[in-house]
Structure 1
Amino acid sequence: MVPIEKKENFIQYFKKNYVLYLFLVPAIILTIVFKYIPMYGAIIAFKDFSPMKGIMGSDWVGLTHFKDFLTSPNFKDIFMNTLKLSFYGLILGFPVPIILALSLNQVRRAAIKKNIQLILYAPNFISVVVITGMLFIFMSPTGPINSLLSIFNDKPVSFMTDPEYFRSIYILSGIWQAAGWSSIIYVAALANVDPQLHDAATIDGATLLQRIRHIDLPTLKPIMAVLFILGAGGIMAIGFEKAYLMQTSMNLPTSEILPTYVYKVGLQAGDYAYSTAVGLFNSVINVVLLVFVNFVVKKLNEGEGLY
């Protein structure tokens, strides 16, 4: 039980700073309205949902929709496409912001550092629609990339329609767009490192790589652990918009993923119950991965994890 003295101290603190707690009210309301209340709708994953009967009036079918999805011919392809796209994106994209932050930390002139940061952060504010349009323009058969490749190859490469190139284009463009913005938290953490530690290490003869290894990386280690857990836990929660916009009828073998499949089955085909079951399956996989990765990281990171 919480000691009475601590309860009284909290009540006094709350009365003194209640205005600060009022700032939390809009966030709490938005979370309840857009996160918790929609959970009620997940019931239709277990029902033969009919808009005319409503959620409670529809017939209960149990796990039928889940069984239909798991036994469908395209389940394996869709599941593996989602897993590969997310896994490769996490593995290839996770180190990039760290490397950028460590590099920026070595820039001593503030003006130059700010200009570099502006260039690195700018892609994050470009719309996904614009990014996709740029990809189609630059990688079209008559685009600048094929113009350069024409020096070595007479036949243009169909980057945006060939399934072989979809994952590489999706992942690399995503890293380019998000890496700079993702490095902000690492840059902020490195700003708290005492410069005297680097000065002392330099006097002792430590090289740049040794200082990064023994001073900077230990500072970033807790943040890296938390962000990696969150990234791995959301490995199946890949973005819908970009994959859908990059899809063509020819690259579907590698571009069809769970979110685009849910959109097509749910909103386009109108099978709301089945699409909800697929989305719920995706969420369960994410939760399992989150718990598992957090457990592994805590074992490897001396008990430090997300929770």
Structure 2
Amino acid sequence: MQKTQRLNRFKQLWPFYVLAAPGIIYFLVFHYVPMSGLVLAFKDYSPFKGIVDSPWVGLTNFRDFFSTSDFVILLKNTLIISFLNLGVYFPFTVLLAIMLNEIRMLTFKRFSQTIVYLPHFLSWVVIYGITISFFGPSGVINHYLEQWFGGGANFLVSNEWFRPLVILQSIWKDAGWGTIIFLAALAGINPELYEAAKVDGANRLQNIWNITLPGIKSTIVVLLLLRLGSSLDSNFMQIFLMSNGLNLDVSNVFDLFVYHIGLEQFNYSFAITVGMFKSIVSLILVVSANYAARLLGEEGIF
């Protein structure tokens, strides 16, 4: 009986399964099948011997990684950039979505949305070129600093300016794109709530605090949990372009370390060990944050 019901249900929903098939195949091929390569973290992998014949080393790679002098620096730099993204970039996307939602002129609203979406489609190489044009030694900012104060600043090779520039780049490039889901959630808020608040004499700030933010609270929690899952993943291309020998003390993160160890020094096992450590920590963060969200009355993501 159950088999017949499942067959009938499949006949009814087969178009949806066909539509979902490319996405499912993509995740299987590019996300789940490569997980078999995690076994290399427990081997001394050699391309000449292959995965099967490479000798087992157990937890040696993990011990070497945790005992290296770079581990604390890598962890510190990665966490600082991640928490700056969570504490500055993420709230800015929420604020920007609310600001766009408050625009009453439909034409100007659409124009504004288009303007803030456009930087998302630029590559990080172009963004880096724009950064050099503004913050480079002969850039616009230094030009005016020399005129007004008699001297410029070494923004691109400074440890103090690396993180602010990285966050500024992220906000300018992706904050507009990050508002899309929030704007969709804002569109689902009942307009009658605002009308009732207006009758009660509430101003715009009171509407935002008492209606808008509670209306998108669940969306904020879900997106925050998803972002925690990639908290140890820095934007490699952005960091790679912005890093140099003079700011390596603050720019050397896990992703950059994996690139140097894995692709430049061909130490694949050690690079996979670092990636596996990142994945385990990210999983722990997501599960813990999801549990905390459920304790606070939110649905979470699972």
Q: TM-score, normalised by structure 1?
A: 0.94
Aligned mate of 1:268, from 264, 267, 273: 264
Cross-structure match for 2:161 = 165
- State whether residues 234 and 290 of structure 1, in contact with CA within 8 Å, keep that contact through their aligned partners in structure 2: no
- Show CA shifts across 1:274-305 (max 9, x none): 111111111111111111111122222x1421
Cross-structure match for 2:92 = 96
Q: What are structure 1's unaligned runs of at least 5 residues?
A: none
Give, as a single letter, the amino acid of the residue that structure 2 aligns with 1:90: L
Is structure 2 residue 243 aligned with structure 1 residue 250?
no
Distance 1:143 1:208 in 2: 40
How many percent of aligned residue pairs carry the same amino acid? Answer: 39
Give, as a single letter, the amino acid of the residue that structure 2 aligns with 1:83: L
Distance 2:279 2:295 in 1: 25
Cross-structure match for 1:130 = 126
- Show CA shifts across 1:31-89 (max 9, x none): 11101111111111100111111111111001111111111111111111011111111
CA separation of 1:191/1:9 partners in 2, compared to 1, >3 Å: closer, same or farther?
farther
Distance 1:153 1:295 in 2: 53
Cross-structure match for 1:121 = 117
Give, as a single letter, the amino acid of the residue that structure 1 aligns with 2:293: V
Distance 2:97 2:164 in 1: 24
Distance 1:162 1:190 in 2: 40
- State whether residues 229 and 290 of structure 1, in contact with CA within 8 Å, keep that contact through their aligned partners in structure 2: yes
Query: Displacement, 1:196?
Result: 2.1
Partner secondary structure for residue 183 of structure 1: helix
Distance 2:19 2:41 in 1: 36
Cross-structure match for 1:77 = 73
Partner secondary structure for residue 205 of structure 1: coil
Cross-structure match for 1:223 = 219
Query: Displacement, 1:151?
Result: 4.3
Query: Displacement, 1:93?
Result: 1.0
- State whether residues 135 and 141 of structure 2, in contact with CA within 8 Å, keep that contact through their aligned partners in structure 1: yes
Distance 2:299 2:23 in 1: 28
Q: What are structure 2's unaligned runs of at least 5 residues?
A: none
**What is the aligned length?**
302
Deviation larger for 248-257 or 145-154: 145-154
Give, as a single letter, the amino acid of the residue that structure 2 aligns with 1:277: T
Distance 1:19 1:303 in 2: 33
- State whether residues 128 and 241 of structure 2, in contact with CA within 8 Å, keep that contact through their aligned partners in structure 1: yes
Segments ≥4 residues shifted beyond 4 Å: 7-10
Query: Displacement, 1:14?
Result: 2.3
Query: Displacement, 1:203?
Result: 1.1
- Show CA shifts across 1:108-146 (max 9, x none): 121110000011111111111110111122111211011
